[in-house]
Structure 1
């Protein structure tokens, strides 16, 4: 799956996971989002489901500061907008916080849910804490990759004590 990032350059460049993905050729830095791009938007009303892979040709991460996320995501973007189902952050800044993911965590998670697990793991391999994100969410990835509708998410979260 083609990975793209739209960067706002709001965070410490040394900690920017999107910049590191671009540097290693794992994602492309873009200025515009195509209509077939899956835009990972934490404010979207719809949650990413495995069947969404048939609507898209790329996954787009919006790289911005969590402090400015509301402002960044209020902009009009093309593409298919989806939020990720609840996941625990593995990064050192927001460790184990629900849904406070870095760009690489969000892109990796979307790949896992869409059935591209090997590519998702490849992204995480570039970060010392990448395996932590995977280990925290491995069972959830397995469950989410089988979702048929959004209503099933609450049942999964109850099973894992996350609601």
Structure 2
């Protein structure tokens, strides 16, 4: 699956996961989003489901500061917008916080849900803490990769004591 990032350059460049993915050739830095791109948008009405794979050609992570996320996502992006189901951050800045993911965590989670587990693990391997994200969310990701509809998410979250 093709990975792309739209970077706003709002965070510490040394900690920017999107920049590191671009540097290692794992994602492409883009300026414009195409209509067949899946845009990861934490404010979207719809949640990413495995069946979304058939309608997309790339996954796009919007790289911005969480402090400025409202502003960044208020822009009109083309593409198919989806939010991720709830996951725990494995990164050192937001460790174990629900839904405070880095760009690489969001892209890796998307890959898992869409059935590209090997590519997701390859992405996470580039980060010292990448395995932590996987370990915290492995069971959730397995469950999410089998979702047929959004209503099943609440049942999964209840099973894991997250709601």
Q: TM-score, normalised by structure 2?
A: 1.00
Shift in Å, 1:55: 0.8
In the aligned structure 1, how far is the partner of 2:156 from the partner of 2:81? Answer: 22
In the aligned structure 1, how far is the partner of 2:6 from the partner of 2:158? Answer: 34
Number of the residue aligned with 2:99: 99
Residue correspondences, number: 163
Is 1:43 aligned with 2:43?
Answer: yes
User: Structure 1: which 4+ aligned runs deviate by more than 2 Å?
Assistant: none
Number of the residue aligned with 1:68: 68
Q: Deviations over 1:58-105 (max 9, x none)?
A: 000000000000000000000000000000000000000000000000
Shift in Å, 1:22: 0.0
In the aligned structure 2, how far is the partner of 1:126 from the partner of 1:5? Answer: 16
Q: Deviations over 1:85-128 (max 9, x none)?
A: 00000000000000000000000000000000000000000000
In the aligned structure 2, how far is the partner of 1:91 from the partner of 1:43? Answer: 21
Shift in Å, 1:16: 0.1
Q: TM-score, normalised by structure 1?
A: 1.00
In the aligned structure 1, how far is the partner of 2:59 from the partner of 2:51? Answer: 14
Structure 2 unaligned regions, length at least 5: none
Number of the residue aligned with 1:6: 6
Is 1:31 aligned with 2:28?
Answer: no
SS in 2 for 1:14: helix
Shift in Å, 1:19: 0.0
Number of the residue aligned with 2:148: 148
Structure 1 unaligned regions, length at least 5: none
Q: Deviations over 1:26-68 (max 9, x none)?
A: 0000000000000000000000000000010000000000000
Which structure 2 residues correspond to residues 75-154 of structure 1 after superposition, within 5 A? 75-154=75-154
Shift in Å, 1:18: 0.0
